[in-house]
Chains A and B, each alone.
Chain A
Amino acid sequence: GEDVEQSLFLSVREGDSSVINCTYTDSSSTYLYWYKQEPGAGLQLLTYIFSNMDMKQDQRLTVLLNKKDKHLSLRIADTQTGDSAIYFCAESIFYDMRFGAGTRLTVKP
């Protein structure tokens, strides 16, 4: 089964905030990642957080990490139509990177 779980779909209106949630199972994970995949393209690294951090902010992106609950979230402020894509959560222990199934974000005008 999946080690990393995330909901499959999220739909928001343009200008709203999007929150994509992820749960992971391995407390030994060193880094946690968010990747974005647009149709026909590869995975683009959006941001990552070291496992000893609680929060990381990068422009419109905010990552929150709750190690106790093994919960990771990605908040996109002022969501734009160009943010429509599949977002993958991933955890890594050294080279072993485990991906969730991806959340398809749809942004409606």
Chain B
Amino acid sequence: DAGVIQSPRHEVTEMGQEVTLRCKPISGHNSLFWYRQTMMRGLELLIYFNNNVPIDDSGMPEDRFSAKMPNASFSTLKIQPSEPRDSAVYFCASGGGGTDTQYFGPGTRLTVL
């Protein structure tokens, strides 16, 4: 199994630009999570999908952030417009199989100049 796949691994963009982060969960998992990691705030859950449906998006910072999961094998996290304070590492995780265990992808390091 390839594990959770994220792309790109690194993204550098300028303030105001749109950023799209992508995630492919582990095949067969029915839960998908987007997290943000910063030095100041640690790991923060942004949004949780179950069976492709957003269940909890209370962690999404503001309207500039949106996430979709059009099918069981793909999800996107979009930031429009991006701001320097969005600079962080964004992780996607997937889970399923009757436990709460989450398996993390390698992350996307986003830098907004």
Contact = CB atoms under 8 A, between A and B. Distances in A.
Contacts of B102: 45, 92, 97
A30 B33 CA distance: 18
Interface residues of A, number: 23
Contacts of A99: 42-43
A42 B101 contact: no
Interface in A23-58: 30-31, 33, 35, 40-45, 48
A95 B55 contact: yes
Q: Is the interface of A mostly helix, strand, loop or mixed?
A: strand
Interface size for chain B: under 10, 10 to 19, 20 to 34, or 35 or more residues?
Answer: 20 to 34
B50 to A, nearest CB: 7
A64 B93 CA distance: 25
Contact of A95 (B33, B42, B43, B104): B33
A40 B91 CA distance: 12
A95 B56 contact: yes
Interface string B85-103: 0000001010100011111
